[in-house]
Amino acid sequence: MDRSGVLLIWSGADFSFAACTALKTRFDETRCPVFVNTTGLSIWMKQSTSPGLIRAFSLLPASESVAKQNSIHLRTSQRLAALQSVTEDRITMIRTANYFQDNYRACCAAFRHAGSRLQGTQILQNRQLLHGMLRLPHSAAADPGIDWLYIGPAGKTERLLLLTSGLHGIEGYAGSALQQLFLNQLLAVELGASAARDTAFLFIHALNPYGFQHNRRTTVENIDLNRNFDTSADLYQTTNPGYDQLNCILNPERLISEADLDRESFLGVLNGLSQSHSERELTEAIARGQYNYERGIYYGGCMPAGQRGVIDSLLQNHLPHFRAVYAIDVHTGYGERGRLHYFPDAQSPEHKAAIQRLFRGYKIDWGDSEGFYSVTGEFVNYIGKLCRADQLYIPMIFEFGTLDSHTPFGGAISVHNMILENQLFHYGSQTDSIAAVVRQRFLEMFYPSDEAWRRAALDQGAAALRRTLQRFHQE
């Protein structure tokens, strides 16, 4: 096979992973990356810098005639049209339905299946696979827990990738999809790289199962988990005077009326506030976190949330064994629609330098823009506090933008949606049709139904994971 080409594999749902892996072995000497997916039609590609042929092999189920298996040759000039403008390290033509499910339980089932299908496969040779469910102390036996999966070398390990989803409940759809994609497709590539032999992977799925199951951001206690994590109880004594001043606007204590749905009216209220406050002051006051109003939005709690204990135990069982930890927490909502934003939490110059090495060439949001806000009780910051002083900790939030909330208009609409959903939960609405509008707006803000948005999330998320992991293996 031409070394400047690319091997692309299609596989039917019942074509064995072992057969695909065997084919990969046959073509290893070509130095062309081989990617397989037995869960449905997909195309994986890494473009070569030199011109040449792309060779695509159609692997049909064993039940179908061998005569139907074809190899096709596409000239380099046909790449853009045939593969939808693929760029280096980008995944295209992914069937998003394979990874985006319609509800929490389907997401959990898909995540578990992605893990279980790895057992006994060749790609786990000399590696251990551990998995389990963290039962929450306030939950009945039939209630959901938190799924986790660990894959690591049987011997000494140097580095850990921690990939988490669903901290904000309803935002878990995209995080779950990225975790599934990694397990189904990216993992085989990573484990096949010699540089990854000392790297382990820990996936924690749906950190906030209650919020995910009920399409809310918060826990059963109405706690925003990303305002609840710290090693010191002093967090819960944090004051937010700006929020106090806005509380009556942010948390109306009454039924939602038809008039409340009017966005123009709410924009008028915010416009009045902007006459005496900068955009950053308002954003900080609203979203930084508050610890006084238990029925309010962005409530950080008065103590650790129910799942904190089991999450802490899992992290403390794994984190100490590694010299370097790269933690990615996946979110949706903030930022430019269809774009993946990167929000780090550098606690030292060393951490910032490591982030810059991994994300060289990427635009990093360091938190210095006008519409940005800092957060108290942040999860990725907390993980760093659990690490030893001699460990290299590289934290990053992957945030997929949905409503252009980095702009004043988009930010206002986002806050309005947050207010109405919280008001609906605590006080209800005058009619069922009003409730339906509120729920639909809220769902679209964190889990857009737009196929293009979902494809972009998988494309950009997978590409960023692959490239930064390649660099992480060198840390």
pLDDT digits (tens, 9 = 90+) for 381-411: 999 999 999 999 999 999 999 999 989 899 9
Residue-number span of the structural domain to which 267 is assigned: 95-475
Last residue of one domain, picked from the residues 48, 83, 118: 83
For β-strands 340-344 and 146-153, DSSP reports them as unpaired
pLDDT at residue 95, rounded to an integer: 66
Residue 299 within a domain: yes
One domain for residues 252 and 300: yes
pLDDT at residue 119, rounded to an integer: 87
Buried/exposed 279-316: b ≥16 CB within 10 Å, e otherwise? beebbbbbbbbbbebeebbbbbbeebbbbbebbeebbe
pLDDT digits (tens, 9 = 90+) for 22-68: 344 333 333 344 443 333 333 333 333 333 333 333 333 333 333 33
Q: Is the pLDDT of residue 145 over 80?
A: yes
One domain for residues 182 and 76: no
Residue 88 within a domain: no
Token pair for residue 49?
């810098």
One domain for residues 187 and 297: yes
One domain for residues 369 and 243: yes
Select the more confidently predicted residue: 412 or 277.
412
Instruction: State percent of the chain over pLDDT 90.
Output: 64
12 vs 16: CA distance, rounded Å: 9
Number of domains in the chain: 2
Q: pLDDT-based confidence at 143, cuts 50/70/90?
A: low
pLDDT digits (tens, 9 = 90+) for 73-102: 333 333 333 333 333 344 444 567 789 999
Q: What is the mean pLDDT of residues 134-150?
A: 80
Asked whether the beta carbons of 294 and 302 are under 8 A apart, the reply is yes
Residue 89 within a domain: no
One domain for residues 268 and 325: yes
pLDDT digits (tens, 9 = 90+) for 308-350: 999 999 999 999 999 999 999 999 999 999 999 999 987 788 8
pLDDT at residue 64, rounded to an integer: 34
Model confidence, pTM: 0.81
CA max distance for the chain: 74
One domain for residues 161 and 23: no
Last residue of one domain, picked from the residues 52, 83, 114: 83
Pick from 5-19, 220-234, 255-269: least confident: 5-19
Last residue of one domain, picked from the residues 83, 118, 140: 83
Q: Domain of 213: which CATH number?
A: 3.40.630.10
Mean pLDDT of the chain: 81
Residue 226 within a domain: yes
